[in-house]
A and B are shown apart, each in its own frame.
Chain A
């Protein structure tokens, strides 16, 4: 058993820390938000130059052959700074889908420009009628000559505002299929949405959209469904890591505030009732860190039930820990914590975004409790 980082991983963590401090403080996100820009394409290109966008993909697919530990290091750093570039949405979710289900030509066509940082991708799996259950989309894909016609609507596509291509899940006569859809193609319309955390999202309407067969990723049915399942678990693990960064930042800011803010002639951090509240936040951050590590280790675990159990436990913990930490962070900041001017509220809202996406606490608790091993363990 070993939880220490390798020398390469330590170096990556240092690079991320420096990058975030110098290039992406929270003010950057605040400015983009004010201009209603979902991201900064130059920053994305820079992340591509640093190699971050290639981290979790195999060398065959042109990636670095890293894993979720490396991804988690990057996401935790981005979470601390509220960086709005769609690392989770484009690299972890859509990128993994293309990498795992796509062939060499498809890697070249969609993954390569994403890894370089010239393009972003998004995964369009969520629908209004099925909530977090991605297994049976009501979006359909039917054969049309040598190609396909897709119809349906995808909601709150993460990173959808800035994506150059969408990986869309749809029901085919043979089961679930994955297709890469051009948002500017015929029969496709993208509506950019505003979200609580200021991160880019979109609604995607497919109205008999014509899609060539070379845009189909892998074989519809069990193979595609299994890929989507794995992709979503990777995404949930990634959300835990980013959420950990958000929670850690809120704890640090709150402890600093308790030391600086004076009332009744003393720092408010000398009051025991507030100290104990801060300790409860600290405990939850520690537990979330432990579970984020677990999720990273197990996200690519081949034994499905073990993977699902660990990822769901961690994502559920993100829900409970994230709620306690972010709510108490506002409370301990007092009135200033309610203002848009103070950063703590931005973190609070990002936590809502991460808790809600990819299955919330209730959904993951239920998934875990319905695994075959639950009753027997």
Chain B
């Protein structure tokens, strides 16, 4: 057993850090330093810089334009980017529909879509959930009727994150209502500019327009945009959810958040001393640090398993669950450390220290992490059934 990285991997980490020092634009760096949220323009600008470097899709195979990194180097790259606080790239193209098209798409679909996902020329969003189909995703009703070379879509998708900025949406649609629910679903790529598509942004509890209700009225989509067989979309969706689950350990961003908590605590005073000098606060922060360390070790073990070519197993199934809980608890701790400053809501600079700016909306939005990507209760169902082998019930 060995916790250290090889000399080659350490050199790669150096290369990543040198690149970051060079290539991260100063305005984005300034925001990263105080953990301010990024707007879509900044995110896409950073996307293109990473694309030019060849690092925008660390996990993609070389034949689709990936950089051909080892599992460890992919991990190092991801971790260094997170630790530097660079804008998180939209996962919908790079980590979700891209891999799905690689696995299930036709060569034509691969040529048509993958290069523009990579370059950032086309931005994607995800159309899974519906008002009446959340955790029970297979009950979805958004209809696709056969019309020769086309499917005609009618219905509504919800929680479509950043649909208002997206060029394309990948959807699960109902192509057959007369069979077992899972057997009548199709995975479909829809151009957001098609007539009859409307994305209506809604505000989250963080009061930002992070997701939309997306409506489809007689939207005509060529059958060439079906990924996998018609009525075979559930298989594609399940493969994709597996990808999504392993993305959500959030170790790097939680480490940044912990550091931020300590910096805020060091500059927050009560009874003449900073909270970071107060034994009670130190132990409270230390307890979070220990939980995060345990998550990081579990993440390392999953990574080491991946290096050996093992499918994500017991270790990775807990990553989403604990990763999101820890991230939420860290925001909670940040709010507690801030005291009355936690009340500040989008005030001008100077009302609260820069370091605290934006914590409250982020704390609110962080409640979403235990809901999206398969709610944590669904994750527990999966572990209970597939790992512990407990009998299904109602």
Chain A residues with a Cβ under 8 A of chain B: 1-5, 69, 255, 258-259, 266-267, 269-272, 275-276, 278-280, 282-283, 286-288, 290-291, 293-294, 296-298, 313, 316-317, 362, 365-366, 368-370, 374-375, 377
Contacts and interface: CB of A to CB of B under 8 A. Distances in A.
B195 to A, nearest CB: 44
Interface in B364-394: 377, 380-381, 383-384, 387-393
A75 B303 CA distance: 26
Contact of A365 (B4, B286, B295, B390): B286
A296 B1 contact: yes
Contact of B384 (A276, A291, A366, A368): A276
Secondary structure at the A interface, as helix, strand, loop or mixed, is helix
B2 interface: yes
Contact of B315 (A1, A286, A291): A286
Q: How large is the interface on B (under 10, 10 to 19, 20 to 34, 35 or more residues)?
A: 35 or more
Contacts of A279: 380, 383-384, 388
B191 to A, nearest CB: 41
A111 to B, nearest CB: 26
Nearest to B393: A270
Given A270-B391, A275-B384, A316-B290, A377 B318 contact: no
Nearest to B392: A270
B15 interface: no
Interface stretch (B129-137, B169-177, B276-284): B276-284
B387 A4 contact: no
Counting from the closest, the 6 A-B pairs by CB-CB distance are A270-B393, A290-B297, A369-B286, A275-B384, A369-B282, A287-B294
B293 A291 contact: yes
Nearest to A371: B286
B3 A369 contact: no
Nearest to A375: B276
Interface of B: 1-5, 72, 259, 262, 266, 276, 279, 282-283, 285-287, 289-291, 293-295, 297-298, 300-301, 303-305, 307-308, 314-315, 318, 321-322, 377, 380-381, 383-384, 387-393
Interface centre among A1, A269, A317, A375 (most CB of B within 10 A): A1
Contacts of A375: 262, 266, 276
Given A279-B388, A286-B315, A368-B289, 15 more contacts: A255-B389, A266-B393, A275-B388, A286-B298, A287-B291, A287-B294, A288-B294, A294-B3, A294-B297, A298-B3, A366-B282, A366-B283, A369-B282, A369-B283, A369-B285
A255 B390 contact: yes
Interface centre among B279, B293, B377, B381 (most CB of A within 10 A): B293
A132 to B, nearest CB: 15
A262 B388 CA distance: 17
A208 to B, nearest CB: 39
10 contacts: A5-B1, A271-B393, A272-B393, A278-B388, A283-B318, A290-B301, A317-B290, A317-B294, A366-B282, A369-B283
B286 A1 contact: no
Contact of A368 (B286, B381, B391): B286
A279 B295 CA distance: 16
Contacts of A267: 391
A4 B305 CA distance: 8
Interface centre among B5, B287, B297 (most CB of A within 10 A): B297
A369 B383 CA distance: 34
Contacts of A69: 1
Nearest to B265: A375
B390 A4 contact: no
A2 to B, nearest CB: 5
